[in-house]
Amino acid sequence: MDIDKERTRSTSHQDLLQAILEGSMNGELGTLIEGELIVDNCKNIFLGGYLPPALAAIWGLMLLASHPEWQDHAHSEVLELKMVIQEVLRLYPGVTLATREAMQDVKRGDLQVPKGVGIWIWLLSLHRDPELWGPDADMFSPERFINGVTGACKSSQAYIPFWLGSSSVSWTKFGFDRIEGVLCCHTLQFQAYNLSKLPTLAYLWFAFGA
């Protein structure tokens, strides 16, 4: 990838590299980004839509094998396949942690968060909180999403399998489409069988790998 050539090219075309270059040159991304950082940004967006969806697809196949009735539903109805994927991502989010920084002093009840403090959100705990999701929060129950996220949870902000805000945009669409493609092709051509009851599995994958 010849970044210098792209930077000096007079014509503009809509791809990821061009968007980053234009953002760096017009000041939207701060000072001019060096070539290495530009490459890293491209990698982040590509990998963010690759590894988490791959893990989610694996979990999805395991859960469908353990719940054959939902395998039949996913095969016959696209909407129900979407519900299955949403539930898989709730139980086993592809991103385990969401990190944020407090932009101003915040007080929530007795909790005081000063400006500049880093905040880590443990998604697995958030997605399985009975106070938000009900007493069956640990159960595989795709029908909870029949009315969307707002109908499944007390707060739509509590469902963030691909984070929140601008960081989530490319991951959410790219990642969800990949998972949907894998599970759709599988349910159309194959039947998954669970040869034994699905054991209790420790969720060991942390942030970037096992």
Eight-state DSSP code of residue 120: E
Of the two residues 88 and 182, the one the predictor is more confident about is: 88
CA 133-138-139 angle, to 5 degrees, is: 100
Helix axes 169-189, 35-48, angle to 10 degrees: 40
**H or E element that contains 91:** helix 78-91
Residue 194: per-residue pLDDT? 73
5 strand-pairing partners: none
* H and E: helices and strands count for the chain: 10, 4
Token duo for residue 176 = 């969800």
Residue 105: per-residue pLDDT? 93
Task: Provide the pLDDT confidence category of residue 26 given band limits of 50, 70 and 90.
Answer: low
- Give all domains of the chain, ordered by start, each with its CATH number: 1-46 (no CATH), 49-210 (1.10.630.10)
3-state secondary structure of 108: strand
Residue 101 contacts residue 165 (beta carbons within 8 Å) = no
Residue 171: per-residue pLDDT? 59
Residue 59 contacts residue 92 (beta carbons within 8 Å) = yes
Eight-state DSSP code of residue 141: -
Give 101-155 pLDDT, tens digit per residue.
Answer: 889 998 888 889 999 999 888 888 999 999 999 999 999 999 999 998 889 999 8
Specify the pTM. 0.68
Q: What is the mean pLDDT of the chain?
A: 76
d(CA 145, CA 83): 6
The rounded percent of the chain whose pLDDT value lies above 70 is: 65
Residue 49 contacts residue 174 (beta carbons within 8 Å) = yes
119 strand-pairing partners: 100
Task: Provide the pLDDT confidence category of residue 200 given band limits of 50, 70 and 90.
Answer: low
